[in-house]
Amino acid sequence: MGPPHTPWKALVGAAVLALLALLAAPGAVTAAPAPRESAPVYSYANAIRETVWVNTGLDGDGDGRPDRVAADIIRPAEPARQGRRVPVIMDASPYYSCCGRGNESQKKTYDAQGRPVQFPLFYDNYFVPRGYATVLVDLAGTNRSDGCIDVGGRSDVQSARAVVDWLNGRARGYTARSGGKPVTADWSNGNTGMIGKSWDATIANGVAATGVPGLKTIVPIAGISSWYDYYFAQGAALYDGGPDGLAAAVESPAAHKNCAAVQRKLVEGAPRNGDWTDLWTERDYVRHADKVRASVFLVHGMQDLNVRTKHFGQWWDALARHGVQRKIWLSQTGHVDPFDYRRADWVRTLHQWFDHYLMGYDNGIERAPMADVERAPDTWATDARWPAAGTAAVPLYPRTGTTAGVGVLNNRPAPSGQSAVFTDDPALGEADWAAAVDRATPAKAGFTTGPLTAPLRLSGAGTVTVTATPSTTSAHLSAVLVDLGPDTIRNYGADGEGIVTRTNSTCWGAGTTGDTGCFKETAADVSKVGFTVFSRGWADLGHATDPQHGHPLTPGKPYTLTLQLAASDHVVPAGHRLALIVGGTDANLIDPPASRPTLTLDLARTTARLPVTGGAPALARATAGTPAADRPTGTVLKGIAPPADPRRLPNGD
């Protein structure tokens, strides 16, 4: 049989023990522990500041020359002198000259030779001394770049992708906008992380969806994942204009002069009828989530009514299906950067994230809890995964109550023949409906549970399926979930969308006279309320039979439609009630239909399926108390109305 065999693992284990014993012997020299984070050891004042114009390979403005985009760069000088390469943090934006970035609307500035002086935000001040290069890219057709802005299309995405390619030696860069000498990124190690808020975040999503090599991570803050869903919700128009209006707001004078053909395509490809076109297919990044190779640190405000929360929900779910490494922060704010509501924790966490994915530090960030969710102003909870573990879709059913026009919501379907009727009033919206949920009013159908006997957490996205009969040839529907009960929340309807800006400043990183790295402090802007709307969905009933193409309705004919509720994460406390409200036009959040219909809901064919953490047992525990029909009616509640214009510049896109 031969001699006994010693397993190889035992040999390795013995060798390790022997080595440890040797290192522990008196006088032994032990190796220093590996560093866990980059340190500010490089000079910011003496950093290299330059601009490279990168060839995109496109000719959007039709001048017969390939478009070049301006990539402004600040990088530490010392690593290059030592023959070492550095990673890149990149923010590609259309806003660097027209509107500015951040809470203080900072713009890029340059010296007399055209070299960068001020970079908006803190990324350069904080990360350049720690061994990173910061690269800010002007999207094609903006600031100092050639070409045309095309609002999330090929030109926008290629503007940034070309720079990632140049950083990895696959694209050509030059010292000037036209002519100039070729220049290579011989100082870059190729590892690139993209970051940005709003349109900038959207470009990060779009570039990641191309699968470009070298893009190691993205940090999209309030980013769009599909441009159709920025302008429409299941056929219902969210705004009274299209992407051509955004292009006109940000394009450079040269682009405004030379890009009429691109503007025309934006108008023709985005009709205001809510139909899906090829233009939207090109700008749907979710369908290419399978190509994403970068990790994703996603940040969104759960009351963001500009880039609404459907964007992060569908993007997150698609990334999860394809196994993308990811992390998420969800705040109670509107369209706000985390630097302005959780500053110190944000800088620390972002530092760890970039150190791990761009520098390779083993700091454990990828093993940390996946989700941080703001439960109350400045009060956060963590979850190992998101949506929360144990969450399942659970049905709830609206029924008529003992008071006419005041319905109940429970786990028993309505009997055949029950209905609710409302008439679209474009002057009213979710705040008006919720304030009068305990009264019969003509513009909404409201249904509530009794006071909950246990907290009820809803984590993720739900649906509401309705069967509605219209009285006219057009109709829009809105469905909202409401937490009925007193609370103190961020005032997302105010100008700061949940924050107020102080006069004092603090500094984050190194600075110079032209770029101090100091920013005004912020604080939570809070309001006491009697209800909180926490999830919303909108749709055009004319798209019920064909989601991609609307059709005139037949008055008196029932239509069945499933409204997609936007993703959220909310805990309805014990003692509060959960409400489902169905109405027509949600004022300031969708545009009204061509007519003013009366709609009859068939309650026996109307169901909400909600993402309840703990599933049906948790819902049963929470709703085991007093039936909603036994409560006093007629109370008027106070809440927060949405902003009159959720899509406002400079930081709105």
- Cβ of 41: how many Cβ atoms within 10 Å? 10
- 3-state secondary structure at position 620: helix
Local structure of residue 32 (DSSP, 8 states): P
Final residue in a domain of this structure, among 358, 383, 408: 383
Marked catalytic residue, from 311, 335, 351, 543: 335
- Of the pLDDT bands very low, low, confident and very high (cuts 50, 70, 90), residue 635 is low
Q: Are residues 355 and 338 in the same domain?
A: yes
Domain CATH number, residue 448: 2.60.120.260
Confidence check: pLDDT of 22 > 50: no
Alpha helical stretches, state H, 274-337: 278-282, 310-321
pLDDT tens, position by position, 290-327: 999 999 999 999 999 999 999 999 999 999 999 999 99
What is the predicted pLDDT for the residue at 477?
98
What is the predicted pLDDT for the residue at 24?
40
Asked if 542 and 475 touch (Cβ cutoff 8 Å), the reply is yes
Confidence check: pLDDT of 25 > 90: no
pLDDT tens, position by position, 443-474: 999 999 999 999 999 999 999 999 999 999 99
SS3 content of the chain, % helix, strand, coil (to 5): 25, 30, 45
- Cβ of 472: how many Cβ atoms within 10 Å? 16
- Of the pLDDT bands very low, low, confident and very high (cuts 50, 70, 90), residue 33 is low
Confidence check: pLDDT of 647 > 80: no
281/275 Cα distance (integer angstroms): 11
Q: Give the mean model confidence (pLDDT) for residues 590-597.
A: 97
Q: Are residues 347 and 432 in the same domain?
A: no
Asked if 610 and 618 touch (Cβ cutoff 8 Å), the reply is no
Supply the Cα-derived Rg of the chain in whole angstroms. 27
Confidence check: pLDDT of 424 > 50: yes
Token pair belonging to 209: 């969806």
396/459 Cα distance (integer angstroms): 15
By percentage, how much of the chain surpasses pLDDT 70? 92
560/361 Cα distance (integer angstroms): 53
Q: Are residues 324 and 456 in the same domain?
A: no
Token pair belonging to 537: 């969905």
What is the predicted pLDDT for the residue at 36?
85
- 3-state secondary structure at position 235: coil
Final residue in a domain of this structure, among 383, 411, 432: 383
Q: Are residues 254 and 283 in the same domain?
A: yes
Active-site residue 146, yes or no? Answer: no
Confidence check: pLDDT of 633 > 70: no
Asked if 225 and 285 touch (Cβ cutoff 8 Å), the reply is yes
Q: Are residues 445 and 568 in the same domain?
A: yes
Those residues whose C-beta lies under 8 Å from the C-beta of residue 189, and which sit 6 or more positions away, are: 85, 86, 87
pLDDT tens, position by position, 136-173: 999 999 999 999 999 999 999 999 999 999 999 999 99
647/306 Cα distance (integer angstroms): 5
Q: Are residues 466 and 367 in the same domain?
A: no
Q: Are residues 252 and 115 in the same domain?
A: yes
Structural domain boundaries enclosing 344: 44-383
- Cβ of 546: how many Cβ atoms within 10 Å? 12
- Cβ of 637: how many Cβ atoms within 10 Å? 18
- Cβ of 321: how many Cβ atoms within 10 Å? 10
pLDDT tens, position by position, 409-421: 999 999 999 999 9
pTM to 2 decimals?
Answer: 0.93
Confidence check: pLDDT of 242 > 90: yes
Q: Where are the beta strands (DSSP E) in 140-274?
A: 173-174, 182-183, 188-197, 215-221, 232-233, 236-237
- 3-state secondary structure at position 540: strand
Active-site residue 335, yes or no? Answer: yes
For 110-138, the three-class secondary structure string (H helix, E strand, C coil) is: ECCCCCEEECCCCHHHHHHHHCCEEEEEE
Q: Are residues 371 and 399 in the same domain?
A: no
Asked if 614 and 488 touch (Cβ cutoff 8 Å), the reply is no
Q: Give the mean model confidence (pLDDT) for residues 9-34.
A: 43
- Evaluate whether residue 302 is within a structural domain: yes
Confidence check: pLDDT of 634 > 70: no
Q: Are residues 401 and 378 in the same domain?
A: no
Residue with tokens 């999209």: 220
- 3-state secondary structure at position 263: helix
What is the predicted pLDDT for the residue at 625?
74
Marked catalytic residue, from 198, 331, 459, 474: 198
Q: Are residues 196 and 267 in the same domain?
A: yes
pLDDT tens, position by position, 520-533: 999 999 999 999 99
Give the total number of structural domains in the chain: 2
Final residue in a domain of this structure, among 337, 354, 383: 383
The string of DSSP letters for 423-448 reads: E--TT--HHHHHHTTTS--TTEEEEE
Helix axis angle for 260-268 and 243-250, nearest 10°, is: 150
Angle at 74 between CA 70 and CA 75, to 5 degrees: 130
Query: 74: which strand partners?
Result: 49, 134
- CA within 13 Å, CB half, 455: 8
Confidence check: pLDDT of 60 > 80: yes
- Evaluate whether residue 23 is within a structural domain: no
By percentage, how much of the chain surpasses pLDDT 90? 89
- Evaluate whether residue 640 is within a structural domain: no
354/598 Cα distance (integer angstroms): 54
What is the predicted pLDDT for the residue at 629?
41
Domain CATH number, residue 88: 3.40.50.1820
The single-letter code of the amino acid at 207 is V
What is the predicted pLDDT for the residue at 31?
54
How many residues are there in the chain? Answer: 653
Instruction: Give Cα 540 to chain centroid, integer Å.
Output: 24
Q: Are residues 353 and 475 in the same domain?
A: no
- Evaluate whether residue 14 is within a structural domain: no
Q: Are residues 431 and 353 in the same domain?
A: no
- Evaluate whether residue 632 is within a structural domain: no
What is the predicted pLDDT for the residue at 4?
35
236/229 Cα distance (integer angstroms): 10
Active-site residue 91, yes or no? Answer: no
Average pLDDT across the chain, whole number: 93
- Evaluate whether residue 335 is within a structural domain: yes
- Evaluate whether residue 223 is within a structural domain: yes
- Evaluate whether residue 226 is within a structural domain: yes
What is the predicted pLDDT for the residue at 34?
65
Q: Which of 261, 582, 635 is nearest to 436 (CA)?
A: 635
